[in-house]
Amino acid sequence: MSTHPLHPVGLHQQPVAFRVPPPLVLYIHIPWCVRKCPYCDFNSHEARGTLPEREYIDALARDLELSLPQIWGRKIHSVFFGGGTPSLLSGDGITEVLRQVRMLLPLEHNAEITLEANPGTVEADKFAAFRDAGVNRLSLGIQSFNDAHLRALGRIHTADEARRAIDIAQRHFDNVNLDLMYALPQQTLEQAVRDVQSALQFKPQHLSCYHLTLEPNTLFARQPPQVPDDDASFEMQQYIEEMLAAHGYEHYETSAFAQPQKRSRHNLNYWQFGDYLGIGAGAHSKLSFHNRVIRQARYKQPQAYMEHAGKGASVQSEQQLGKDDLAFEFMMNALRLNGGFDEALFQERTSLPLLLIRRELEEAERKGLLSRGSGHIAPTEMGRRFLNDLLQIFLAPED
């Protein structure tokens, strides 16, 4: 992730010195999917033929083993299998990965262990095996309950398959997230609302409602579909937020809604600028040491990743974050939280005094995008709507 420097007085003279490292979580990337969706900019690769499951799991184990010196003695608070489509792996495969994790790392008792799954019939039939493997939270990529919109998104499941998958998931898991998207090609307000109403019939513990964005380097970026304009999209967003609030869901992050006590612990760690170790093809890490913070990226192509992991060199790139990057990246994450953050958290997670971004905070407050009081900072309603404008304040102009 590229960032731009902040320039408050004295920033570059401030030493980085962590007394206590942030909480640490583990991310495991499974890079294959049945078909690449036209909106997807994640590191995913269409599976052709039989997956090299055994070889890939061996590479994950080797990658994790090689990472141990950098996280020695630190407890893992949550695990997240992302992709791609992690549910393409077998139940035995997920069992083996988690066995390696428990063997090599101190995993917190009752740690949240999430696996992303597609609602296709083949994946749904594995849900019981995933639960037996130790997964305790399932995240289903529903996106829509409208078959025409699913086809427009390039999804390979139907609305009926989505409903069946949710039924199966809820038989085996008491913590289920449903991913939905809105502002889809040719979507009306009524259709967006109907999707959320369909999801609410299942009373999921967590809902992620994302605005469709046309990301660079995707098919949709090259061949843009006709999508609702900004005003129509905002109206959808408002209706969705009001509907979910009326059903008791807490809107705690830009796109995340949870029943009481069911926030995503893993994702909260990102938004509160915690540490994460990422293993697997293309996975990223952010790790804090007593005097520095580093970012790492693994090799993106699955075959290259497996080959390099076998040679003991799965990390393709590593960089140390400057103090300017730390300040901006903290704000970029923490300002996604609707409830904001305590001022003390900034210094705890960056080792920098909040005074260094005083002018930026004052400007954001003056523009009505930020509120401050009693040692707490939070985006206002206008700041949440215009989050990019709020974050822009914490960026220095490019040279």
**Domain range list for the chain:** 1-16+325-399, 17-270
List pLDDT tens digits, range 110-166.
999 999 999 987 788 899 999 999 999 999 999 999 999 999 999 999 999 999 999
Distances (CA, A) of 284 to 204, 277, 294: 29, 7, 10
Q: Are 396 and 6 in contact (CB under 8 A)?
A: yes
CA–CA dist 259, 397 (Å, integer): 40
CA–CA dist 248, 242 (Å, integer): 10
List pLDDT tens digits, range 216-269.
888 888 999 999 999 999 999 999 999 999 999 999 999 999 999 999 999 999
Q: Are 128 and 172 in contact (CB under 8 A)?
A: yes
At 313 the three-state DSSP class reads coil
Q: Which CATH topology does 1-16+325-399 take?
A: Arc Repressor Mutant, subunit A (1.10.10)
At 133 the three-state DSSP class reads helix
Distances (CA, A) of 105 to 52, 74, 263, 397: 25, 8, 24, 42
Could you tell me the mean pLDDT of each successive run of 10 residues in the chain, 399 residues long?
Answer: 34 66 97 90 86 97 97 96 95 97 96 95 88 97 97 94 96 97 97 98 98 90 92 96 98 97 98 98 96 96 97 96 90 96 96 93 97 96 94 74
At 319 the three-state DSSP class reads strand
Evaluated on CA atoms 247, 249, 251, 254, the torsion sign reads negative
Q: How far is CA 198 from the centre of its chain?
A: 24
Q: In the prediction, which pLDDT does 132 show?
A: 97
Query: Candidates 3.90.1200.10, 3.40.1160.10, 3.20.20.70, 1.10.3720.10; correct CATH number of 17-270?
Result: 3.20.20.70
- Cα dihedral angle (105, 346, 20, 26), rounded to 10 degrees? 0
At 56 the three-state DSSP class reads helix
Q: Give this prediction's pTM.
A: 0.93
Q: In the prediction, which pLDDT does 396 show?
A: 58
Q: In the prediction, which pLDDT does 8 show?
A: 35
Q: In the prediction, which pLDDT does 397 show?
A: 54
At 378 the three-state DSSP class reads strand
Phi and psi torsions of 310, nearest 5°: -60, -25
Q: Which residues lie closer than 8 Å to 231 by C-beta, 6 or more apart?
A: none
Half-sphere exposure of residue 314, counting CA atoms within 13 Å on the CB side? 27
Phi and psi torsions of 296, nearest 5°: -130, 155
Average pLDDT of the chain?
93
Read off the tokens for 115: 């696996």
Run of H or E including 251: strand 250-253
